[in-house]
């Protein structure tokens, strides 16, 4: 890992300049959050070989078997105004990093999924550590499946990995290093007024899912519509029988 990180050091800026590595931990987001609240610098990186309590959104589990995936969290400092776009930007960064390091092309599914042809390859879990008037500190967790592994049956049928998709082994350290390079580029892009360009890239990566039907829960009522895109705040825009709705957060089921 040290080699790949050394070779990309000039392109990574502060991202991963400090690396904290665990053979096993509950969740890299837990460790990175501890770092963030005690003042860790932008780019502080936590990586684990295995997570005993890997988390998704809304209390869900992220299966994190040993050696089968990349489990990492970075502490990101950025202007508060663009912090809500960080989940989308991290998705674009993962797509960039995988393309550069392996040639694999992925799709993005709102809000936080990395997909390949309908199967989940990875996901993003962004958790705010501190939001002040102007600056935000956000722990950005990234999970990417590297190799096939024994996942519970309900997950296995809907999951995939880089090596399954490519049919060959990949250099894991290079994948990590290039994902970090892309995280640095995309967070800098957000911080320097480049949100429209990041959103344009996100839309391209999510194009195959647009036009699909989605259902979600609105105060106990199931609502259905057709996803047409995201707006400039990152909200999902859905056309329903009653008009156009913007979904800011929460769970959306795609069909």
Q: State yes or no: residue 55 binds ligand BT5 (CB under 6 A).
A: yes
Q: Is 18 in the site for ligand BT5 (CB under 6 A)?
A: no
Least distance from ligand BT5 to the Cβ atom of residue 134, Å: 27
Determine which residue in the list 84, 91, 97, 141 makes contact with ligand BT5, applying CB under 6 A.
141
Is residue 130 a contact residue for ligand BT5 (CB under 6 A)? no
Q: Does residue 87 belong to the site contacting ligand BT5 (CB under 6 A)?
A: no
CA-CA-CA-CA torsion sign (77, 80, 82, 84): positive
Edge-to-edge strand list for the sheet holding 221-230 = 243-247, 236-240, 221-230, 213-218, 252-254
Query: For the residues of 42-96, what is the DSSP string, one character each?
Result: TT-EEEES-BSS-B-STT-B----TTTEEEEEEEEEEEGGGGGGHHHHHHHHHHH
Q: Residue 9: name the closest of 180, 175, 172 by CA.
A: 180
Task: State in angstroms the smallest separation of the CB of 216 from ligand BT5.
Answer: 14
Nearer residue to ligand BT5 within complex by CB, 102 or 145:
145
CB 111 within 8 A of CB 92: no
Segment contacting ligand BT5 (CB under 6 A): 75-83, 138-146, 180-188, 224-232? 138-146
Q: How far is the CB of 179 from ligand BT5 (least distance, A)?
A: 12
Q: Which stretch binds ligand BT5 (CB under 6 A): 36-44, 63-71, 192-200, 226-234?
A: 63-71
Q: Which of 87, 107, 112, 189 binds ligand BT5 (CB under 6 A)?
A: 112
Contact segment (CB under 6 A) with ligand BT5 among 86-94, 140-148, 176-184, 236-244 equals 140-148
Q: 210: burial class by Cβ within 10 Å (0-12, 13-18, 19+)?
A: middle
Is residue 57 at the binding interface for ligand BT5, with CB under 6 A as the rule?
A: yes
Give CA 46 to chain center in angstroms: 15
**The only residue of 16, 42, 44, 51 in contact with ligand BT5, by rule CB under 6 A:** 51
Helix or strand or coil: residue 153?
helix
Interface residue with ligand BT5 among 159, 175, 205, 236 (CB under 6 A) is 159
CA 140 to chain centre: 7
Supply the minimum distance, in Å, between the C-beta of residue 239 and ligand BT5: 23
Applying CB under 6 A, which of residues 43, 97, 143, 234 lies at the interface with ligand BT5?
143
Site for ligand BT5 in 224-253 (CB under 6 A): none
Helices (H) and strands (E) in the chain, counts: 8, 12
Which among 229, 218, 225 is positioned nearest to 251, based on CA atoms? 218
Q: Which residues bind ligand BT5 (CB under 6 A)?
A: 27-29, 51, 54-58, 60-63, 69, 71-73, 112-113, 120, 123-125, 141-143, 145, 155, 159
């Amino acid at each position: 890992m040290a080699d790949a990180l050394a070779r990309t050091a000039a392109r990574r800026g502060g991202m991963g300049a400090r690396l904290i590595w665990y053979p096993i931990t509950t969740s890299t987001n837990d460790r990175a959050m501890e770092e963030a609240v005690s003042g860790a610098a932008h780019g502080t990186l936590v990586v684990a070989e295995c997570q005993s309590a890997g988390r998704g959104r809304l209390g869900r589990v992220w299966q994190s078997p040993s050696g089968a995936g990349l489990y990492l969290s970075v502490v990101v400092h950025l202007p508060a105004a663009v912090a809500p776009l960080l989940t989308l930007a991290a998705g674009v960064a993962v797509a960039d990093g995988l393309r550069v390091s392996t040639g694999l092309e992925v799709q993005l599914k709102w809000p936080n999924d990395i997909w390949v042809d309908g199967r989940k390859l990875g996901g993003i879990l962004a958790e705010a550590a501190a939001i002040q008037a102007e600056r935000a500190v956000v722990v950005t967790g990234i999970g990417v499946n590297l190799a096939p592994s024994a996942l519970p049956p309900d997950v296995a049928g809907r999951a995939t990995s880089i090596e399954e998709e490519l049919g060959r082994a990949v250099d894991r350290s290079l994948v990590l290093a290039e994902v970090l390079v892309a995280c640095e580029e995309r967070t800098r892009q957000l911080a320097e007024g480049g949100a429209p360009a990041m959103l344009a890239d996100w839309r391209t990566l999510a194009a195959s899912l647009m036009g699909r039907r989605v259902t979600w829960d609105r105060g106990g009522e199931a609502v259905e519509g057709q996803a047409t895109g995201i707006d400039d705040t990152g909200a999902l825009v859905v056309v329903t029988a009653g008009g156009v709705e913007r979904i800011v957060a929460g769970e959306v089921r795609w069909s």
